[in-house]
Amino acid sequence: MIEFDAVGFGALNIDRLFNVNEIAKEDEESHIHNLKTYCGGSAANTIIGLARLRLQTGFIGKVGSDEEGKLLLNDFKREKVDTKEVAIAKDGRSGSVIGFVDGQGRRALYVDPGVNDSITLQRTTLEYCENTRLLHLSSFVGDQSFQSQKKLIKKIPKHVKVSFDPGMLYARRGLSALRPFIRRSFAVLPNKAELKLLTGEEYEIGADKLISEGVKIVGVKMGKRGCYVTNGKIKHKVVPFKVKVIDTTGAGDAWNAGFIYGLLTNRTLINCGRLGNLIASRCISRRGARTGLPQISDLQQQGELLE
Ligand SMILES: Nc1ncnc2c1ncn2[C@@H]1O[C@H](COP(=O)(O)OP(=O)(O)OP(=O)(O)O)[C@@H](O)[C@H]1O
Ligand SMILES: [Mg+2]
């Protein structure tokens, strides 16, 4: 019996965002107006998006035995994401991000990967992955967890589809380092800049290049221009939903949730792209990466897309 529709494997972070009057440079001083704390991590945001759409979900990751770790685990539990494969490290800190945002929305971010970068593959991890229809991967800063992901995808059975959002961190490693991921991926979901970095080509040719490496579907996120989706034969540019943009944090992760939801419910490729744009548009209408992610019941007016 397959237990999960989708399992995520990626970093888990507590994001602390300070609103400041100015981002201080060396030897300068600035002041803080406000502090907001969010649970984050790319694959984690995507999995929570899928859980709100009532799919059965789980997560592979690692937190520390600290308050931040508790927050991250409780957030998953509240969203009904299974946490059996989230390891709790005895030593080390949970991953965190400290960010400074000024009045114009400019940001300076400092990432502390903490225990995210020391994930090792357990026997139970492989068993966990045999019980999902789809495994969604996002990036880590360090090498050990990258290697663990690589080992895992070599071992998981054929019936498990893999979706992969390389982000800037992995795109920078280049195509040959990522080939084991690309070859095993059913869907690769970069943004335009990451695809360019990865393939050296603009998005249409870049996507074809990934298809020629064995990927079945490429979904390219293009910010306010929406997205481009292709399986090598069908190619669609999909226009975005018009919304008032409040905060684009996590837009790409939300897009992944909509797109993967489409894949798992057997929609046409263009409708998968529309669903990605739809969930992303809800995300960017609210502050924070997860706040705007809709429940199924919030999407009733999108009837034809969800039939
Ligand atoms: N201004 C906008 N108006 C409408 N939709 C938008 C806008 N900006 C982003 N989106 C939606 O969000 C999706 C993802 O955004 P984007 O292309 O910036 O992803 P990303 O760079 O991976 O984001 P992230 O920084 O979260 O990783 C787009 O494909 C689009 O559907
Ligand atoms: Mg992204």
In the chain, the number of structural domains is 1
> Which domain CATH number covers 144?
3.40.1190.20
CA 212 to ligand 2 center in whole angstroms:
23
> Average of pLDDT values for 76-96?
98
pTM above 0.85?
Answer: yes
CA 27 to ligand 2 center in whole angstroms:
33
In a domain, 259, yes or no: yes
- Residue 186, pLDDT score: 98
4 band by pLDDT with thresholds 50, 70 and 90: very high
- Residue 105, pLDDT score: 80
Shortest-distance Cα residue to atom 9 of ligand 1: 223
Domain extent, residue 281, equals: 4-11+43-94+115-306
The string of pLDDT tens digits covering residues 173-206 is 999 999 999 999 999 999 999 999 999 999 999 9
Ligand 1 atom nearest residue 277's Cα: 31
CA 248 to ligand 1 center in whole angstroms:
7
- Residue 36, pLDDT score: 94
124 vs 307: CA distance, rounded Å:
36
For residue 228, the ligand closest to its alpha carbon is 1
- Residue 106, pLDDT score: 87
Write the secondary structure of the chain as one string of H (helix), E (strand) and C (coil). Answer: CCCEEEEEECCCEEEEEEEECCCCCCCCCCCEEEEEEEEECHHHHHHHHHHHCCCCEEEEEEEECCHHHHHHHHHHHHCCEEEEEEEEECCCCCEEEEEEECCCCCEEEEEECHHHHHCCCCHHHHHHHHCEEEEEECCCCCHHHHHHHHHHHHHCCCCCEEEECCHHHHHCCCHHHHHHHHHHCCEECCEHHHHHHHHCCCHHHHHHHHHHCCCCEEEEECHHHCEEEECCCCEEEECCCCCCCCCCCCHHHHHHHHHHHHHHCCCCHHHHHHHHHHHHHHHHCCCCCCCCCCCHHHHHHHHHHHC
Please state the length of the chain: 307
Tokens describing residue 31? 């002041």
In a domain, 22, yes or no: no
- pLDDT of 306 higher than 80: no
Q: Do 55 and 264 contact (CB within 8 A), yes or no?
A: yes
Ligand 1 atom nearest residue 280's Cα: 12
In a domain, 273, yes or no: yes
Of 13, 2, 163, 201, which Cα lies nearest the Cα of 99? 13
Which residue in the block uniquely carries the two structure tokens 């603009």?
A: 202
Shortest-distance Cα residue to atom 14 of ligand 1: 252
307 band by pLDDT with thresholds 50, 70 and 90: low
Average pLDDT, the chain: 96
Which residues does ligand 1 sit against, CB inside 6 Å? 191, 221-224, 226-227, 240-241, 243, 245, 248, 250-253, 255, 277, 280-281, 284
- Residue 304, pLDDT score: 66
In a domain, 196, yes or no: yes
β-pairing, 57-64 with 32-40?
A: unpaired
Q: Which of 255, 260, 261 to mutate to test the pocket of ligand 1 (most atoms within 8 A of CB)?
A: 255
Shortest-distance Cα residue to atom 31 of ligand 1: 277
172 band by pLDDT with thresholds 50, 70 and 90: very high
In a domain, 110, yes or no: no
In a domain, 173, yes or no: yes
The string of pLDDT tens digits covering residues 30-74 is 999 999 999 999 999 999 999 999 999 999 999 999 999 999 999
Q: Which of 109, 221, 244, 259 to mutate to test the pocket of ligand 1 (most atoms within 8 A of CB)?
A: 221
In a domain, 216, yes or no: yes
Sheet holding 13-20, edge to edge: 32-40, 13-20, 95-101, 107-112
CA 157 to ligand 1 center in whole angstroms:
32
The string of pLDDT tens digits covering residues 207-231 is 999 999 999 999 999 999 999 999 9
The string of pLDDT tens digits covering residues 90-108 is 999 999 999 999 988 888 9
Q: Which of 13, 248, 279, 285 to mutate to test the pocket of ligand 1 (most atoms within 8 A of CB)?
A: 248
> Average of pLDDT values for 16-38?
95
